[in-house]
Amino acid sequence: MKLFKTFAAPVLLLVLLVFASGTAQAQDTRSFGLTALIQNGQAEILVPLWLGDALTLAPGFSLLYIENNTMEIGLLLMPRFYLDMQRVAPYISARGGVIFRMPDSPLQSDTTDILLGMGFGGEYFVNAMFSFGVEAQLNGFVVDISGISDITLRTAAAVHANVYF
């Protein structure tokens, strides 16, 4: 649990910086947003920052608690490049991050995993400030198990809802 306290302050600082940078930009276009993403039973919260007409960079986090077993905290960074900005906008994405796994059992040690992935999806803009999307992903994990690193490759599907400001 002390690992959670160690990373709570940097995560809070990151979220505050993201909101501060978004409000400092011009208000006549989308500058930042809030995304709720669900994939394979795990939820993520992302804060996409619009860096141009067709490019976002979204820092985010995930939290997963399995009762009487383990807790995982993920810190993520996800750039997304839109191929055609229409009402339905296809995009290519990348994912990177770290996942801190903290088992409840004293017999298991905390681990840190690295995530690298890519995706292809589409976003349906209901209007300029609200959208839904789906994404297919291919993710690679460098998993640390008892000091031995293992590389895992997984496919995933995600759905997300976005509100932009």
> Sorting pLDDT into bands at 50, 70 and 90, what band is 160?
very high
What residue has token string 């302050």? 9
CATH number of 2-164: 2.40.160.20
- Look at phi and psi of residue 159 and say left if phi exceeds 0, alpha if psi is from -120 to 50, else beta: beta
- Quote the CA–CA distance of 69 and 105 in Å, as a whole number: 7
pTM metric for this prediction: 0.76
Quick: pLDDT tens for 8-21.
444 444 444 444 44
Residues of the chain above pLDDT 70, percent: 81
- For the chain, the structural domain boundaries read 2-164
With beta carbons less than 8 A apart as the criterion, state whether 81 and 54 touch: yes
Confidence at 109, pLDDT banded by 50, 70, 90: confident
